[in-house]
Structure 1
């Protein structure tokens, strides 16, 4: 478990002035692992609350556009290495029967994996529907730390 003091952040991780200033607001004993998890969790929560309710259909063009949009937008957040979004096509209702017949995106449609890296830690967080508990669960899938730094 590593705790990176602010004075070493610029030297070790190449942090700029804005990152150093932002880092001052975090608890001094926050580990790189905890911060990587925090940054990934912020992204999962933001994705869920920003995109739930978006109109969706089984049209592959609509689904692929929405997946790409979510990935690109969420990848803009700090410390993201990778954002993967899949909309479960099997969970989306069929074709439109009339102009008012469309579905809106729900949590159970999403299968998301976010990789965030802070300092020496890399966290992979996941959000997906778990049928056994009938819930879209956000959880830490894995965490690793590069001890060579």
Structure 2
């Protein structure tokens, strides 16, 4: 029985989104961050990931309230960046297919999920 193994444009767009999230998370996890440096780190992450092919937009929010709570009893003025301090949205446009993905904490875990897939060619 023959099987078509060529991915659809929507599947390729979802794959591209996964690549961007893997790159974002593993490139920046462990980066020193403080409430004072959060905004510049957000911009650096956004600009870095937006350089990748098919990336239409990246929005990174470092959760400053969470950072401040983490640092309230700490002896240092910074901590390392982990998923619990981030909310991220990545939009990928691959051959007219737009994929919106998001990462946010869910049940104590930084969950990356596919929010929507839209084939702009059919609208």
Mark the runs of 5 or more structure 2 residues left unpaired by the alignment: none
Distance 1:106 1:113 in 2: 16
Distance 2:35 2:121 in 1: 45
> Shift of the alpha carbon at 1:111?
0.4
> Shift of the alpha carbon at 1:146?
2.0
TM-score w.r.t. length of structure 1: 0.72
1:107 aligns with 2:63: no
Distance 2:64 2:28 in 1: 16
Q: How many residues align?
A: 118
Q: What RMSD, in angstroms, separates the aligned Cα atoms of the two structures? A: 2.1
Distance 1:116 1:29 in 2: 19
Match of 2:18 in 1: 41
Match of 2:56 in 1: 81
**1:140 alignment partner, one of 107, 114, 118:** 114
> Shift of the alpha carbon at 1:129?
1.1
TM-score w.r.t. length of structure 2: 0.87
Comparing both structures, which one devotes a greater share of its residues to strand? 2
Match of 2:46 in 1: 71
**Corresponding residue SS for 1:86:** strand
Cα offsets for 1:22-54 (capped at 9, x unmatched): xxxxx9611110111111111111100010101
| Greater C-alpha radius of gyration | 1
